[in-house]
Amino acid sequence: MTDLVTPLMNNEEWAYRQFVKEYGKRIYNICFYILHDPSEAEDTTQEVFISVFQSIHSFRGDALFSTWIHRLTLNKCNEKLRFINRKKRKGDMVLIEKQVDLASQDTSPEGLLIKNEEIALLFDAIRSLSENQHIAYTLHNMQEMSYAEIAENMNISVSAVESLIFRAKQNLKKYLIEKLNTDD
């Protein structure tokens, strides 16, 4: 991967284009799988890019550039999840209604994904988890990162990641058993 840090710090236009090309899809997919909503994922991807451009000068090279980008992405997703969860607790169902609408969008890849009943059910279950469990489990299931990388990106220890994923799976199992029994 080309070293983009210095040219980005020097505000070189070509570096921005390259950065969008290299990271756009990756950031969007992480946002989508965490937020389960294509339009929220698009908004968050844009927020991540704005953050990168605004704070590139604070990148000191303590971690890999990709790790720094992932941390920014996860922070933004975490903020968004908290916001969504707060809204849900307040009883504001706007975001949930949006999810239901998606199932009718046959033409979009996201719509097709959500048409998959098992994935839809799993997404529902994931949304019942705490933010940290939600993120750790999603990154693990996306197979983008190892436990060590997840730990590095979430700025926690590897054992904490293992514990988060273990508890996430237990909670998901509990949720799904309850849900499937209720539906029967």
Partner 1 sequence: MKNINEIINKKFDKRFDISAELQEKLLNISIPFSKKSDSWRYWLVAASILLLLSFHLVNFGKEDQQNEDEIVEVYNENWNNQL
Residues that bind partner 1 (CB under 8 A): 11-14, 16-17, 19-20, 24-25, 28-29, 32-33, 42, 45-46, 49-50, 53-54, 109-110, 113, 118-119, 121-122, 138, 141-143, 169, 172-173, 176-177, 180
Q: How many CB atoms lie within 10 A of CB 5?
A: 15
Residue 154 or 175: the one with the smaller Cβ distance to partner 1 is: 175
Q: Give the shortest CB-87-to-partner 1 separation in angstroms.
A: 24
CB-based contact 110:102 (threshold 8 Å) = yes
Q: Give the shortest CB-72-to-partner 1 separation in angstroms.
A: 14
Torsion angle of the four alpha carbons 40, 42, 48, 49, in this order, in degrees rounded to the nearest 10:
-160
Q: Give the shortest CB-86-to-partner 1 separation in angstroms.
A: 25
Residue 29 or 87: the one with the smaller Cβ distance to partner 1 is: 29
Q: Give the shortest CB-169-to-partner 1 separation in angstroms.
A: 6
Residue 95 or 113: the one with the smaller Cβ distance to partner 1 is: 113
Residue 108 or 157: the one with the smaller Cβ distance to partner 1 is: 108
Q: Give the shortest CB-134-to-partner 1 separation in angstroms.
A: 13
DSSP string of 81-146, one letter each residue: HHHHHHHHHTT--HHHHHHHHHTT-TTSHHHHHHHSHHHHHHHHHHTTS-HHHHHHHHHHHHTSS-
CB-based contact 15:4 (threshold 8 Å) = yes
Residue 24 or 100: the one with the smaller Cβ distance to partner 1 is: 24
The pair of three-digit structure tokens given for residue 182, joined into one six-digit string = 């209720």
> Degrees (nearest 5) of the Cα angle 43, 24, 3?
135
